[in-house]
Structure 1
Amino acid sequence: MQSPSDFSAPPPGCPAHGNGGNASVPLYGPEFAADPDGFYEYLRTFGPAAPVELSPGVHASLVTDYAAALHVLQNPETFVRDARRWRALNAGEIPLDSAIVPMMLYRPNSLYSDGAAHMRHRQVVTETFARIDTHRLSRHVDRVADYLISEFNGRGRVDLVADYAQLVPLLVFNELFGCPAELGDQLVFSISCLMDGVEADKAITLLTETLMELIALKRAQPGDDVTSWLMQHPGRLTDEELISEIMTLIGGGAEPTQNLIGNALRLLLSDEKYAGDQYGASLLVEDAINDVLWNNPPIANWAGHYPVHDVELSGTKLNAGDPVLISFAAANSDPSLSTSRQTLSKRAHLAWGAGPHACPAKDPALLISILTIEKLLNKLPDIELSVPVESLTWRPGPLHRALTSLPARFTPVRREGSAAARFSADTRSAPANPAGEQQGHARKGTFWSGFLSWWKG
């Protein structure tokens, strides 16, 4: 296979081949998922920003240059986040049934707002997250990880994505946001469907209804949780704003944290720096996570911006109202950083964004990821990949860098009489759901009540 540096033309399989190299480069197919670095190398030939197609008929410019990415992220007066400025959408040129469009539409929350509205939302979120007790969070991550490991440790095999990395953040966020059993099951189920692209419209409807119920519950019975704190903040978010903010915080927090855990476990179980020689013990889980944030960021391309007027970005013209996305992955691997990249501060990568919209939940996400990985490696010290690392595949999609699965094996642990055995996932039934879905989703839809039963039992 060619290395990314070999590409002076579109990578193999890229439809830009058939258009003289001038067409928008599609980022939604399996070719991009298999070799994103090759695509980024080709996209750099356009300059600091390149024309891409996020899904059929949805075009944008993707910033691949580190300095240009910082310029966009740090200049909210010129590059705004409010998608109501999206020219092609307003002109009726965007297919509304596109899978990517719901991820880009305006919502009244901190992610999609600007100016005073953004400052108000951001203050509510940052001051609420500042109330999270890290010791309490650590204890809950420990309990959730224990529970999930007990669900599979007697089998001697596991998919570390579906059975562990994807579920830990969701169950931890259920605790942080104060979800009771039934609502927590619906929340886990609907977000899992959204992550996996299963009946997305119906999953969003269920998620919205669940959050409305949660808000009503917390109005009647406020608790020591993020939902109650958001509602009590002097910023006085409306119910519509609360639903939108909570949906973004849980869904937008779970996906990158899941991917960070999975991508770091892949490194730890396959890269000789971490697993294969006598020096492995001296490298910490934090090193693997930092490696991922630089080289395989869990959200690869995101942060949609809209120029308020026609503007040049380092010689590349960007039109007012046309979406401009940041490639965190391409910017982190910008060749201009090659001489100093490995010695840069852990904060210099762009995996968490930059500027006024930088991720507000970075610290909890890092803590959850580190503790989740350490717990697994301590509980199952002989765990290893059960397939060659070269055979692992990545989920298609323009935004994330996420493994399809991560099969592993280990010495089974005896668990007769354990609480986990009494609440085996195989004996649970799913809650009412929108998709009539597969058994895997049914199991995800009952993990929160199963965890609560296990913990109380």
Structure 2
Amino acid sequence: MTLRYLPDAGKLYGPEFTNDPQAVYARLRERHGAVAPVEIAPGIQAHLVISYQAALDVLTNADGAWSKDSRPWQVRLPDTPGAAAALGMLAHRDNVLFSDGADHARYRRVVIDCYSMIQPHKLRDMVIEVSDSLIRGFAAKGSADLVHEFARPIPLRVFNLLLGRPDSDSAALISALYDMMEADPEAGARGSENYYRYIIELIESKYASRGDDLTSWFIDHPAGLTQQEAIEALVVTLAAGFDPMASLISNTISRMVSDDRYYSSLTNGALSTYDALMEALRAEPAMANYGPYFTTRAVDFHGTWIQPAELVLVSYAAANTEPTHVPDELRSDGGSYLGFGAGAHRCPASDPATLIAMTAIERLTSYLSDLELDVPREELEWRPGPFIRSLATLPVSFTPIRPDQPGESPWSAQSASPSTPSEPTFPASPADYATSAPWSS
């Protein structure tokens, strides 16, 4: 059986969508209401939830009609390049993103418990060290592309350290994931091979010798992940920690340097980095359209009939910006947003993600307080694709900082080195769980 054709579907790819997705969402909302038919790749269709209330309803559903298991949908896909592109983000894996019920609760418990063991002050020191080292690479030039020279390397280097690899290994991870994102099939295949080699080598090294790191915590959690489940936990950790985090950082910076509410010089704006981050999560969330669900039976959802095994995506970008006809100054919701999702599948690492993004941005602006965009923000180039709202480049200029000039600089700042072993925080043996590990409670 093949998937049915949805008429009048809006395209979530191509120049029109890439350049102005909000205009596409507005047309879909006018034509279809809360749920609209869309095409996410040539020949691959979905139902897109574009109303805030409808998004909350599907994200917080307790109805057996909704499932995260993509396999019934997956087996009905045609064998086309469009299907292959969609499966990169939607193919089933045994992890927290694509499971339901007891399996989901088990996987999620591992993620929550292990992320809770990351000490915020150590994470902050790690981000400072990584950010300063990147800033040193361009501070003396007076210009930079903050996507490629700052926002994208940060999550990969930080997660490389959190997963228990030395910072010197981060170059291999960065190269692999950058290749995977390329449109060139040869580069993509090379990147995928190198990425999985990195994951396998990491897992094998931690099974041989545990450390004070996320990988070891995943392996030793009482939930008893199999080796393959531990690999899948690492894959989803890196996937969720790379592109969305990089995009959140660059999207936030681009708003700050183009909006006088934050910035005439970054030291005297009326609003804070946190304000800019929250505004980016609301108005321009990095994960623009995702939160996949697959129906197990026919459902009448906000006036749209959705048949079994059809794909439903949540448009966080459209739901967050749905017109309310209420002036902002009269709203009591504080500008509510779904940037980290909602319900049982809400991002379990939103606090570390916020800390990483804020620390990195504040480190950058503390040294380079006169950042200016080289082009108007409306002329910035965005990466194509239906799922992530991500800048292709973020060219800026600023007053150069030299290594030999007086005052604090990224060359002179002191912070704890993330590569220096800390006192162990993970229990030495299972007998220590009762006193040391969060899952003992």
Structure-1-length-normalised TM-score = 0.83
Which moves more between the two structures, 205-214 or 146-155?
A: 205-214
Q: Distance between the aligned counterparts of 1:276 and 1:133, measured in 2?
A: 35
How far 1:102 sits from its partner (Å)?
Answer: 1.6
Residue 29 of structure 1 aligns to which amino acid in structure 2? Answer: G
Q: Tell me, yes or no, if structure 1 residue 405 matches structure 2 residue 389.
A: no
Q: Tell me, yes or no, if structure 1 residue 34 matches structure 2 residue 9.
A: no
What is the aligned counterpart of 1:166 among 152, 162, 170?
A: 152
Q: Distance between the aligned counterparts of 1:294 and 1:390, measured in 2?
A: 18
Specify the SS of the correspondent of 1:235: coil
Specify the SS of the correspondent of 2:294: strand
Match of 1:414 in 2: 402
Match of 1:270 in 2: 258
Q: CA distance change for structure 1 residues 197 and 347 in 2, over 3 Å: closer, same or farther?
A: farther
Match of 1:444 in 2: none
What is the aligned counterpart of 1:359 among 347, 350, 355?
A: 347
CA deviations 1:3-59 (Å, max 9, x no partner) are xxxxxxxxxxxxxxxx9x943211111210111111001111212111111111111
- 1:244-263 aligned at under 5 Å gives the runs 244-263=232-251
How far 1:346 sits from its partner (Å)?
Answer: 5.6
What is the aligned counterpart of 1:24 among 2, 6, 9?
A: 9
How far 1:169 sits from its partner (Å)?
Answer: 1.1
How far 1:197 sits from its partner (Å)?
Answer: 4.2
Q: CA distance change for structure 1 residues 248 and 276 in 2, over 3 Å: closer, same or farther?
A: same
Q: Distance between the aligned counterparts of 1:452 and 1:411, measured in 2?
A: 31
Q: CA distance change for structure 1 residues 156 and 271 in 2, over 3 Å: closer, same or farther?
A: same
Match of 1:83 in 2: 70
Q: Which runs of 5+ in 2 are unaligned?
A: 412-417, 421-441
Residue 19 of structure 2 aligns to which amino acid in structure 1? Answer: A
Q: CA distance change for structure 1 residues 251 and 341 in 2, over 3 Å: closer, same or farther?
A: farther
Q: Distance between the aligned counterparts of 1:374 and 1:312, measured in 2?
A: 46
Q: Tell me, yes or no, if structure 1 residue 112 matches structure 2 residue 68.
A: no
Q: CA distance change for structure 1 residues 278 and 412 in 2, over 3 Å: closer, same or farther?
A: closer
- 1:77-156 aligned at under 5 Å gives the runs 77-86=64-73, 89-95=74-80, 98-156=84-142
Give the length in aligned residue pairs: 402
CA deviations 1:249-296 (Å, max 9, x no partner) are 112112111111111111111112112389953311001111111111
Verify the 8 A CA contact 1:178 1:225 in the aligned structure 2: yes
Match of 1:7 in 2: none
Verify the 8 A CA contact 1:191 1:251 in the aligned structure 2: no
Q: Distance between the aligned counterparts of 2:92 and 2:111, measured in 1?
A: 18
Match of 2:373 in 1: 385
Verify the 8 A CA contact 1:58 1:95 in the aligned structure 2: no
Match of 1:57 in 2: 43
Specify the SS of the correspondent of 1:50: strand
What is the aligned counterpart of 1:313 among 301, 308, 324?
A: 301
CA deviations 1:397-434 (Å, max 9, x no partner) are 101111111101112222269xx99xxxxxxxxxxxxx
Residue 204 of structure 2 aligns to which amino acid in structure 1? Answer: A
Q: CA distance change for structure 1 residues 121 and 270 in 2, over 3 Å: closer, same or farther?
A: same
Give identity over the alignment, percent.
Answer: 37
CA deviations 1:364-398 (Å, max 9, x no partner) are 11001111111111111222112222321111110
Q: CA distance change for structure 1 residues 194 and 70 in 2, over 3 Å: closer, same or farther?
A: same
Which moves more between the two structures, 173-182 or 62-71?
A: 173-182
Match of 2:60 in 1: 74
How far 1:247 sits from its partner (Å)?
Answer: 1.1
Verify the 8 A CA contact 1:55 1:98 in the aligned structure 2: no
State the superposition RMSD in angstroms. Answer: 2.6
Residue 116 of structure 1 aligns to which amino acid in structure 2? Answer: A
Residue 207 of structure 2 aligns to which amino acid in structure 1? Answer: R
- 1:217-228 aligned at under 5 Å gives the runs 217-228=205-216
Q: Distance between the aligned counterparts of 1:98 and 1:394, measured in 2?
A: 22
Verify the 8 A CA contact 2:146 2:393 in the aligned structure 1: yes
How far 1:313 sits from its partner (Å)?
Answer: 0.7
How far 1:106 sits from its partner (Å)?
Answer: 0.2
Q: Tell me, yes or no, if structure 1 residue 231 matches structure 2 residue 219.
A: yes
Q: CA distance change for structure 1 residues 284 and 72 in 2, over 3 Å: closer, same or farther?
A: same
Q: Distance between the aligned counterparts of 1:197 and 1:217, measured in 2?
A: 32
Match of 1:189 in 2: 175
Match of 1:285 in 2: 273
Q: Distance between the aligned counterparts of 1:66 and 1:46, measured in 2?
A: 14
Match of 2:318 in 1: 330
Q: CA distance change for structure 1 residues 229 and 197 in 2, over 3 Å: closer, same or farther?
A: farther
Q: CA distance change for structure 1 residues 306 and 342 in 2, over 3 Å: closer, same or farther?
A: farther
Match of 1:178 in 2: 164
Q: Distance between the aligned counterparts of 2:266 and 2:246, measured in 1?
A: 29
Q: Which runs of 5+ in 1 are unaligned?
A: 1-18, 422-450
Match of 2:431 in 1: none
- 1:417-432 aligned at under 5 Å gives the runs none
Specify the SS of the correspondent of 2:170: helix
Verify the 8 A CA contact 1:253 1:361 in the aligned structure 2: no
Q: CA distance change for structure 1 residues 226 and 344 in 2, over 3 Å: closer, same or farther?
A: farther
Which moves more between the two structures, 72-81 or 375-384?
A: 72-81
Q: Distance between the aligned counterparts of 1:367 and 1:267, measured in 2?
A: 18
Q: Distance between the aligned counterparts of 1:279 and 1:146, measured in 2?
A: 19
How far 1:337 sits from its partner (Å)?
Answer: 6.8
Q: CA distance change for structure 1 residues 65 and 362 in 2, over 3 Å: closer, same or farther?
A: same
Specify the SS of the correspondent of 1:258: helix
Structure-2-length-normalised TM-score = 0.86
Residue 107 of structure 1 aligns to which amino acid in structure 2? Answer: R
Q: Distance between the aligned counterparts of 2:168 and 2:273, measured in 1?
A: 34
CA deviations 1:289-320 (Å, max 9, x no partner) are 11111111111000110011000111111111
Q: Distance between the aligned counterparts of 1:141 and 1:411, measured in 2?
A: 23
